[in-house]
Amino acid sequence: MSADPAIRREIPDATVARLPGYLRALTDVAERGISSVSSEELATAAGVRSTQLRKDLSHLGSYGVRGVGYEVEHLAVEISRALGLTQDWPVAIVGMGNLGRALAAYSGFAIGGFHVAALFDEDPSLAGEHVGDVPVSPMTELALLAEAEGLSLGVIATPAASAQQVCDALIAAGIRSVLNFAPVVLVVPPDVNVRRVDLATELHVLAFHEQQKSLDADLGLAQ
Amino acid sequence: MSADPAIRREIPDATVARLPGYLRALTDVAERGISSVSSEELATAAGVRSTQLRKDLSHLGSYGVRGVGYEVEHLAVEISRALGLTQDWPVAIVGMGNLGRALAAYSGFAIGGFHVAALFDEDPSLAGEHVGDVPVSPMTELALLAEAEGLSLGVIATPAASAQQVCDALIAAGIRSVLNFAPVVLVVPPDVNVRRVDLATELHVLAFHEQQKSLDADLGLAQ
DNA sequence: CAGTGTGAACCACTTCACAGCC
DNA sequence: GGCTGTGAAGTGGTTCACACTG
C-alpha cells in the first residue's frame, strides 16, 4: 500500500552516492567566493561528467537557471536537504584502536550533519579517557547513552572477531544505520542499513588493475 | 612468447570488486577445516546471492564440479591468481597521523598479496620513528625507496590540503595505483589508477537512508 | 539428483541529443 | 547564445530459467 504519488521522490542509489561529492565541491567553490557555477565547472570539481551531474540534480528538482548555472549557496542547501543533513546526526564510534581514534578525530564531520556523540571500547580500562572532547565509555553504557544522545548512526572500528557482537549491541540499543570497518559480513535485520569500508578489498582491486597493466605491457612487447 | 593468447579474460569491474569478499569467505571456510563448498554456502558467507557468485566465477573459468561444489583450496588459488595476488605487492603509506598509523598496523594485509614496504610523512621530525617494523622516512626519500622496494601501490592518508602534491610525488616516483583517503578529487594522468575511500561520503549515504526511514514512518502514521 | 555454468530477459544507470528557457 | 533539464538510446550488470554433468 502506501502509494503516494508525488512527494516521495525516488533518488537512485548511484546518485545518492555522488551527492556528497557535489556538496564538497560546492563548499570548495563557495570558499573561493564564487556564487554561481555551471554544471561543467562543478562536474569537473567533483570528478564526473556534466551530463551526469545535471541528470543527478534533476532527481532532486530544478534548481538551476538555464543559460546561467547554479546558485552555489542555494544548491548546497538543496543537496543537504536531500541527504538529510538539515538535522545533525549523533554518531557513536565503537573500538578505540588507531582506526577508531582516527575516525573520532576526523574533521570530515565538519562538512556538516554529524557530530561524534559517544565513543566505546570493549576494554573497560579505557573508560574515562578522552579522545578529542568525548570520553570513552564502556559498552555497558551503550543503551543508556543511545537513549540520552539519540544515537542513530554507529561506526564499528573493532577487530573482525568482535564486530558481529558489537553490531548486535548497537542494534539492541536502537541504532539502525551502521558503518562497518571490520572485514566481516554482518548479519542484521532487514530494517538495518550497513555499509562496509574495507581496506583489503580496495587494495585487491588496485592490485588487479596493476596486474592488468603489466599484462597489457607484456602483450605490447610480444607483438 | 608472453605465455597466453586467449588468457586475457575480460572480467567486469563489479565482479572484480566482489572477488576479495569471496577470497575472504574461502579463507574463513578453510580455517574451519572444510574442503568443499557449494555456491549457496559460499555466497551466504560473502553476502551475495548464489547466482551472482556463480556468474562471477564463470568469468574466471570453470572451477567447480557439477553436483558437488567448489574445492576450497583450489578456488582460493584461482581467485588469487585472477586478482594478481600471486605476487606480493609492496605498499607505501604517506601520512603518519592516526589514520596512517592505523593502516600501517592493519592486519588485513595478512590476507595476502601485500606488505607495508615504506612509510612517509611530510613532517621531517617523524623520520626515523618506527611504526610496526617499518621506519618512517621523509618525503625526500620517496624516489629512492620507490626504486629500492619496487613500490607500486601508494596510500594517501594525509590531510586534504597536501593530498594532491603527495599524489604528484608518488606518480613522479613511478607509482601508478593510488588509494586515497583524503577528501579531494585527485588529478592524475590517464595511466594512473585512483580509488578513494571517504568517511564523510559513507556517513552521508547512511544519513540519507536513515532520513528515508523517518519519512516512511511519518507517511505510515499519516495515512 | 544436486549443484554448476550460461544464454536470455530484465533492470538500473549512463550518455546522447536536443528541446526549453533565461 | 548559452546552459539547464530530460526523453530516448545505449551500456553494463543482475537475475532467471534451464541445459548440462559428475
pTM: 0.94
pLDDT at A110: 62
User: Is A112's pLDDT higher than 80?
Assistant: no
> How far, in Å, are A99, B92, B93, B121 from residue B118 at the CA level?
19, 5, 6, 10
User: Is A6's pLDDT higher than 90?
Assistant: no
- The cell numbers describing B77, all together, are 588459488
Residue of least CA–C1' distance to C17: A51
A146 within 8 A of A120, measured Cβ to Cβ: no
Å from the B58 CA to the C9 C1': 19
Query: How near does any CA of chain B get to the CA of A185, in Å?
Result: 6
pLDDT at A106: 85
User: In chain A, at which residue ranges do the beta strands (DSSP E only) sit?
Assistant: 36-37, 64-65, 69-71, 89-94, 114-121, 130-131, 134-138, 153-156, 177-180, 193-196
Q: Find the range with the poorest average confidence among A142-146, A189-193, B10-14, B112-116.
A: B112-116
* Percent of chain A predicted with pLDDT > 70: 93
User: Is B5's pLDDT higher than 90?
Assistant: no
A153 within 8 A of B206, measured Cβ to Cβ: yes
Name the pLDDT band for B31 (thresholds 50, 70, 90).
very high
Q: Cβ contact (<8 Å) for B205 and A153?
A: no
User: Is B4's pLDDT higher than 50?
Assistant: no
CA B26 to chain centre: 17
pLDDT digits (tens, 9 = 90+) for B162-181: 999 999 999 999 999 999 99
Where is pLDDT greater, at A8 or B38?
B38
Does any strand C atom come closer than 7 Å to the Cβ of A51? yes
Nearest nucleotide, CA A51 to C1': C15
Contact pairs from chain A to chain B, CB under 8 Å: 189
Angle (CA) A76-A81-A82 rounded to 5° is 100
Give the mean model confidence (pLDDT) for residues A122-142.
96
DSSP-derived letter for residue B67 is T
- The cell numbers describing A124, all together, are 573497560
CB contact set of A130 (below 8 Å; sequence gap of 6+): A136
Quickly list DSSP for B189-216.
-TT-EEEE--HHHHHHHHHHHHHHHHHH
Angle (CA) B14-A159-A197 rounded to 5° is 25
Q: Cβ contact (<8 Å) for A8 and B200?
A: no
Query: How near does any CA of chain B get to the CA of A208, in Å?
Result: 5
Name the pLDDT band for A9 (thresholds 50, 70, 90).
low
Q: What residue of B is the nearest CA neighbor of A221?
A: B2
| Bases along strand C below 7 A from a protein CB | 1-7, 12-17, 20-22
Chain A residues in contact with B101 by the CB 8 A cut-off are 98, 102
Chain B residues in contact with A218 by the CB 8 A cut-off are 2-3
Å from the B31 CA to the D16 C1': 34
Query: How near does any CA of chain A get to the CA of B47, in Å?
Result: 6
Provide the CB-side half-sphere exposure for A36 (13 A, CA). 6
Name the pLDDT band for B84 (thresholds 50, 70, 90).
very high
CB contact set of A191 (below 8 Å; sequence gap of 6+): A176, B213
The continuous run of DSSP H or E covering B156 comes out as: strand B153-156
The SS3 assignment for A33 reads coil
Domains of chain B: 5-83 (1.10.10.10), 89-201 (3.40.50.720)
Give the Cα separation of A211 and B24 in Å (integer): 20
Chain B residues in contact with A188 by the CB 8 A cut-off are none
Name the pLDDT band for B112 (thresholds 50, 70, 90).
confident
Give the Cα separation of A154 and B4 in Å (integer): 48
**Mean pLDDT for chain A overall:** 93
Query: Edge to edge, what strands does the sheet with A153-156 contain?
Result: A130-131, A134-138, A114-121, A89-94, A153-156, A177-180, A193-196
CB environment A113-123: b (16+ within 10 A), e (fewer) = bbebbbbbbbe
pLDDT at B106: 85
B72 within 8 A of B29, measured Cβ to Cβ: yes
CB contact set of B218 (below 8 Å; sequence gap of 6+): none
Nearest nucleotide, CA A65 to C1': D4
> How far, in Å, are A9, A36, A158, B30, B104 from residue A63 at the CA level?
15, 12, 42, 54, 44
Q: Which of A61, A67, A51, A52 is nearest to A10 (CA)?
A: A61
Q: What residue of B is the nearest CA neighbor of A104?
A: B98
Give the Cα separation of A147 and B146 in Å (integer): 51
Q: Which residues surround strand D, with CB < 7 Å?
A: A 37-40, 50-51, 54-55, 57-58, 62-70; B 12-15, 48-49, 51-52, 55, 65-68
> How far, in Å, are A39, A77, A153, A194, B117 from residue A107 at the CA level?
28, 20, 17, 22, 28
* Percent of chain B predicted with pLDDT > 70: 93
Give the mean model confidence (pLDDT) for residues A22-32.
97
Give the Cα separation of B114 and B77 in Å (integer): 16
Give the mean model confidence (pLDDT) for residues A3-11.
55
Give the mean model confidence (pLDDT) for residues A107-128.
88
Q: Which residue has the cell 594517501?
A: B156
**Mean pLDDT for chain B overall:** 93
